[in-house]
Structure formats: structure tokens, C-alpha cells
Structure 1
Amino acid sequence: MLQQSERPAASTLLIIIAQSARFLIQSAARHGYRVRAADCFADSDSVQHCERFIRLEPITTVSPQQLHETIELLAEGQTAYLIIGTGIEYLYPALTDLPEHIHSTANSAEVCSQVCQPMPWFTLLDSLQLPHPEVTYQPQSTGQWLLKDAAGWGGSHISAEQSISDKSHYLQRHVHGISYSALFVIDAQYQPRLLMFNRQICVDADNGDFRLQTLYNHPELATHQQQAVMDAIMQIQQRLNLRGLNSLDFMVSDTGQLLLLELNPRPSASCQLLPETVDWLHWQIAAPQNLPDIKMSYRLLYHFFAEQMLTIPHDLNWPADFCDLPAPGTIHAEGDPVCSLCIEAPDTIQRFERLEQQCEFFRKKVALRLKNLT
């Protein structure tokens, strides 16, 4: 294993497994790592950077045995560092029995069990007297509640249903407000170091569609609220002993109350809002002694979803800002994620102007054309 803060060699082999691994793969390739990966989409801008790639069934259906077999097929007996992205919420129990040549960079199974199951997570918050929306584990017939899956991600795990099917599900009081996340890394002294705050916007919360659509850095967040979040992260770290990159989701209610929601024990999508020159995967492999001064530009991530069934044509030329590019011939059902935008601009006004320009391209050149092909 690498010592804390030791620089990994450029030839270091990374095995990356996630529901969608594109941004992890691209960052690894950009900084010279060897990459072998498996995810559920096989986007063209993922596969092209990999020495080997395996397409997975939905992460929620992958058994521990299948995960181990996938890792072994990718590693072929070579020493490698394993990075688990979105999906660790389901996969973490299988990370306790890995071959000696596979070095996991993930949080321990014990830590993941604390934050990926609702009862231990909210019990922890209550013991620390950290505020969160009211939760219950029993069906409710009255009141405004949201059904959540503690092992879910991206907002697709949230609905207005009132039934509870298993121990990973719970009901949370529906509180109106603004959603944020805090991306942080654990340093070599086991202390959390804030990287940035981000604003999260879902597709249409008013009509019950909580899928994450927009994520951007440099949000408007009061200094005392930023400090309260960092204080909460410090307290959580003292109990959990996290490692690597993590993010904490939280919200500020319409009445101004700060409420904690979920902790993602993995490199989250917000890592894409860091400058591309930053090798943040290095921090996942070996805890940093010191962080460099990072000049944060104005970045934004935006997800497109299919409004009806569509097939990706073979001669479509995607503009440079687009990512998560489906392979030609890929069929998308209504509601499926199609692709994403990752925009960088010198200020927030130009950031949103560029977003509108690229959304217009998608509407005119992609969505309308795809509609005619179905």
C-alpha cells in the first residue's frame, strides 16, 4: 500500500467500478493512470480510456460473487487500487474479502454500514445533536413525507410513496428549501478538509421528480451556514473515521434552518466541478499531507433525460462540453439519462449563458432529431 501522501506512479493500475464511472475514468486517464473499469452504461467517453472494460447489470443486482469475479477479470492477477464510485451503497459488504493484490481505497464496510442504512445514520446525527428532517420507519397516512432509500443516489431513490419495503427505506418529512452538498477529503492527519460547496437542483420537485439535474459550485451560502456544515463534518469524522473523498448533502429550509440529509462515502459527482488540473484521485489513493491552493473556476454539471424512447444515431457529433456520451445505437427508454454537460466559465453569468446555449443545441440538434428517428 502507498504511504500517506506518497505520490502514486503514473503507471499505477486503477480498477474503477460504479453505476456510472465516466468522470472517474476520465480523471484517471487525464493524469496518466492505467485504467480498467466496469459500469452500467459503457458510454463511449468511458470505454475509450480503458485498457479493459466490462458492462455491468444494474448495480443493485450485482452480487458479492459477481463483484469479485469482475474485479479478478479486470485485474488479471496484477496489483491494483480499487475505486468504487456510485453503487458502493450496495456493494460495500463485499469489500471485506478482497484478494491481496487488490487494495481498496474505499471507506471500510463498517463505516459504510453506518451511513448507508437509515437507522444507524440518523441515530448518529441525533447523538451528535445535528439537525435533520424528521424521519420515521413506519408507514404514514397523513402529512407530507418522502420515501427514501438510504442506499440510493442521484435523487431517483426519492418518491412521494408512503410504503416501506425494507430496512434501507425510510420516510422523511418533506421540507421545502434549497439543497446543497459539501465535498471534502480526509487528510493524512485524519482531518476533513473542505474542497467546495455546491448547489443541487432536481428536475421538478413540485411535481415529485427529485432526480438531480443541475449541480454547480460557488453557490450563495452564508458564512455562518458554511461554518455550521464544517463543524458537523468534523463531529461526524470524529465518530466514523472516514477516509478519501466524501460529500455531505444538506439543505437550508425556507425558514433558514440548516438540515443534514445524507453522507456519500465515495467520490461523488461534484468531483467534476474541481479543475481538471487537480489529480483528486491521488487523494483517494493516498491521504494528502497538504492540499494545494486550488483556484476554483465556475463549473456546472447538467444531466439530460429522455422525454420519450429514442435511439442514438451513428453520425451524431457531440460538442466538446457534452459527456456521458452513449454509444451509437444505444436505445433509451423514457426517463433514462441520455448524456450530460460539464461547463466551465470565468463567472456565474457566463456559466448559465453557456448552459442555455448548449441546452438549445440539445433541443434542436439532438432531441428533435432523435424524436424523428423513433
Structure 2
Amino acid sequence: MRAEPTELVLIANSARALAESAVRGGYGVRVLDAFCDEDTRALAPCIRIGMLGQGLDPEHLTAEIARLPLLDQGAGIVFGAGLEASPSVLSGLTGTLRLFGNDPEVLALVGTPKAFFALLDDLEVDYPESRWDPPDADDPMPWLIKMPGGCGGLGVRPWRVGDRPPGDPHYFQRFLAGRLMSLLFIADGEILAVIGYNRLLVESSDPDLPFLYGGAITQTAPDEAARSSIERAAATLVGALGLRGVNNLDFILHDGRPFLLELNPRPSATLALYEGSCEGGWIGHHIRACLGTLPDVAPGSGIDVSGQQVIYAPHDLRIPSGLCWPDWCRDRPVAGSQVDRGAPLCTVMASGPSDAEVEVQLSLRSCDILARIGNTQEADTGSELAT
């Protein structure tokens, strides 16, 4: 087996959770992401990369990696969300850095709906009815329009009769009501181990983006039939694509039957919910799985239920100085930074004995954060007026 790296370059729209896990595992870390928030800066050197559409700007990313100080021989790359629309950028990096994750070709296939749906058909994996032309005007069932190459619910919205299709690549998918869930798993290219199931939360306050990732809460597995079906789907995808490391399947439980919505062939945001029960951090297991060794037993999430909720800015705001962030808050913006309406503001965490209690805690803590920011902004404004 090849040697593990001692140094990692972490690339994602938001790499804070990856960095926390990697630092716990004893790796030297350098981060390139779109936020460089306070949490990430406290963990490792961070370079802020501009966004292009729904992901990281590939030209800016490539240029900044080329300017990185000398890295240890055999240093590795771990990527999260943000490269779905530009998987080829990874190919250009593997000449000098080792990739610990799925090949760029896998990312490209998953981001190409026709190719991915054809694979799902071959593997007999259920997914919602999809089409390339607009649905018939007299179709009584609701449809969605989706833009490939996105993540976190970006580029997904309801399709309405009379709407004009966008000029960018897109497809239509039948909307199915049900319980939105995910399966987090780790694989070595041939077999997988389940890390956990999660109920996904949706942020729908923006009518133009009503399916944004709003967070997640750990769950017990669905009933035996549904669990068997979705785990079979994951296993067949591992075999067909040679999936390695931590991966994630999003699915909808519609009338008790799972329909696959998305394969994320990289560590997802839900991984942070399982860090507390994993000695040395999950990124260490991710690295070793990519080298061919799965953990003997995938640790569970512990006795308590764990949850996280993303807070999106309700309006344009500037982060005030002197804001007291509670210890259950993550992804804290740097004081003085501007957060535009609808952009991610921070993430709140909670744990408790039940799903319902955790969801209540998350809601209360989200309100608390917004109140703290509002109160501190008012105090700053009062100070300015007094001078």
C-alpha cells in the first residue's frame, strides 16, 4: 500500500469541516475555499478563491495552487463541493499532488445527466422520471428544472407552464413528495461501509432558490426494504464507478420507496455530524480507504442525535466587530465582511435525544445568531453616532 501523505491541500466551496477533521488526524493542512472564515483561518493557512456560477473559479483555483509554497513530496488533495462544474481542474493538479478521492472522470460522469441516468438504468437504480424537453402543458403532476454541475440545491427550482427554458444546459425531473434523506458511506473501490443516514433540511425562503441545502439531522436507517434498496444502489455504484473514500447519496423516500436524487462522489457536509464519534477524524479514514483500507467498523453517530443548520443572510449585512459567537456556531464570517442577502452566513450545531428536540434547538439557535448580529450592529451604529 502506498504511504499516507503528511500534508493535505483541501479544496471546497467551504472546507472548514474537512480542515477540522484533517487537523484532528494530524495532517498538515492548507485550504483553498470561497470563504476563509474565522474557523478555517484558526485551523490552517487559507486562500480565498472566487466563485464562478455554483462552484469555485477553476482558473483562479489553478493559479493559486501553482503559487503555493513548496509542498512535501507526496502531498495530497482532498476535495469537497465546488468542482462539480469543472472536474477537469483536478486532472491538471495530479501531476504534482496525489488525489485522494474519486477520479475526475467519475465527477464528470455524475455531472452529465444523460450519461449518469443511462448508468442508473443499466444498474436498475430507481430515480425520478427525467426528460430533456419541457413537460406537457396539461401534465397535472409537478416538475422541477435542474441545472447540472451544481451542489447544495443550487440550480434547482419548480418548473411552471409558460416558463422559458434557460440557455444553459438543463433537464426536467418529476417532483416527488416524501422524506428527503442521505446515505453517507465510505468505500475502497470495491466494497462500502455505511457511516450513517441523515434527514436533509431545506431552506425555501428564497422563491428563486427554494431547494437550498438547509442542514441535516442524523437518523436511524429507514425500514428494511428501503434500507436494502438504497444500500444496494450504493453498492452497485461503488462497483461500477470504483468509488473511493467518503461519498454521499441523496434520495427521497416516496411512499416508502427510495428514489436516488444525487450521487456526491466526495465528502459531504453531513460528515461533520459524525466527527465526534470517530477517533482521529473521518478524513484519515477517507485517505486510507482511497489507499485500499476500510475502517473495520464504521463508527456510529453516538447515543445522541446530531444536527446542523445553515443560516442564510435574510438581507445584506456586514458582520459587526465585537460579536460574541457561541461555541455551537461554525463557519463564522470575519468581522467587517459583507454577507449578501441569501448567501450562507454561518452554521449552527446541536445534539440531543431526539430528532424533534434537535430541530427545535437548531431553530432557536438560528434565531439567536440573527438577534446577536442585529443587536451588535445597532450598538456599533450607536457608537458611531455618539462620536
Aligned to 1:92: 87
Aligned to 1:119: 114
By how many angstroms is 1:153 displaced?
0.8
**Partners of 1:307 and 1:373 in 2: CA distance:** 19
TM-score, normalization by structure 2: 0.86
Aligned to 1:291: 296
**Partners of 2:270 and 2:56 in 1: CA distance:** 25
Task: Report the RMSD for the aligned CA atoms in angstroms.
Answer: 2.5
Aligned to 2:252: 251
CA contact (8 A) 1:310 1:370 kept: no
Identity across matched positions, percent: 29
**Partners of 1:23 and 1:182 in 2: CA distance:** 18
Assess, with a 3 A threshold, how the Cα gap between structure 1 residues 99 and 242 changes in structure 2: closer, same or farther.
closer
What SS does the aligned partner of 2:86 have? helix
Aligned to 1:210: 211
CA contact (8 A) 1:137 1:164 kept: no
CA contact (8 A) 2:10 2:32 kept: yes
Note the alpha carbon deviations across 1:128-147, whole angstroms, 9 max, x for none. Answer: 22211111112346242211
Amino acid at match of 1:151: G
**Partners of 1:177 and 1:217 in 2: CA distance:** 17
CA contact (8 A) 2:187 2:246 kept: yes
**Partners of 2:376 and 2:220 in 1: CA distance:** 35
**Partners of 1:235 and 1:220 in 2: CA distance:** 19
**Partners of 1:293 and 1:124 in 2: CA distance:** 28
Assess, with a 3 A threshold, how the Cα gap between structure 1 residues 99 and 237 changes in structure 2: closer, same or farther.
closer
> Which of the residues 28, 47, 59 maps onto 1:54?
47
What SS does the aligned partner of 1:114 have? helix
What SS does the aligned partner of 1:339 have? strand
What SS does the aligned partner of 2:212 have? strand
Aligned to 1:36: 30
CA contact (8 A) 1:164 1:170 kept: no
Q: Does 1:331 align with 2:338?
A: yes
**Partners of 2:31 and 2:152 in 1: CA distance:** 21
Q: Superposed, which structure 2 residues align to 1:349-368 within 5 Å?
A: 349-367=356-374
Structure 1, 294-303 or 309-318: larger mean CA deviation = 294-303
**Partners of 1:326 and 1:82 in 2: CA distance:** 25
Q: Superposed, which structure 2 residues align to 1:272-351 within 5 Å?
A: 272-278=272-278, 279-287=281-289, 288-292=293-297, 294-297=299-302, 298-351=305-358
Aligned to 2:183: 182
Assess, with a 3 A threshold, how the Cα gap between structure 1 residues 63 and 216 changes in structure 2: closer, same or farther.
closer
**Partners of 2:227 and 2:130 in 1: CA distance:** 24
Amino acid at match of 2:337: T
By how many angstroms is 1:77 displaced?
4.3
Note the alpha carbon deviations across 1:90-114, whole angstroms, 9 max, x for none. Answer: 2321222335441011211221122
Aligned residues: 364
Assess, with a 3 A threshold, how the Cα gap between structure 1 residues 108 and 370 changes in structure 2: closer, same or farther.
same
Amino acid at match of 1:147: I
> Which of the residues 75, 79, 82 maps onto 2:77?
82
**Partners of 2:194 and 2:277 in 1: CA distance:** 18
Amino acid at match of 2:227: Q
Q: Superposed, which structure 2 residues align to 1:147-158 within 5 Å?
A: 147-158=145-156
Q: Superposed, which structure 2 residues align to 1:20-31 within 5 Å?
A: 20-31=14-25
Amino acid at match of 1:69: A
By how many angstroms is 1:373 displaced?
6.8
**Partners of 2:50 and 2:59 in 1: CA distance:** 14
By how many angstroms is 1:320 displaced?
0.6
Note the alpha carbon deviations across 1:205-263, whole angstroms, 9 max, x for none. Answer: 8956111113011156222211110011111122111111110111012x333211110
Assess, with a 3 A threshold, how the Cα gap between structure 1 residues 59 and 107 changes in structure 2: closer, same or farther.
farther
What SS does the aligned partner of 2:46 have? strand
Structure 1, 125-134 or 364-373: larger mean CA deviation = 364-373
Assess, with a 3 A threshold, how the Cα gap between structure 1 residues 132 and 93 changes in structure 2: closer, same or farther.
same
Assess, with a 3 A threshold, how the Cα gap between structure 1 residues 28 and 126 changes in structure 2: closer, same or farther.
same
Assess, with a 3 A threshold, how the Cα gap between structure 1 residues 372 and 148 changes in structure 2: closer, same or farther.
farther
Assess, with a 3 A threshold, how the Cα gap between structure 1 residues 333 and 62 changes in structure 2: closer, same or farther.
closer
What SS does the aligned partner of 2:194 have? strand
Assess, with a 3 A threshold, how the Cα gap between structure 1 residues 223 and 75 changes in structure 2: closer, same or farther.
farther
Note the alpha carbon deviations across 1:306-334, whole angstroms, 9 max, x for none. Answer: 11111110100110110010000111121
**Partners of 2:181 and 2:377 in 1: CA distance:** 33
CA contact (8 A) 1:15 1:74 kept: no
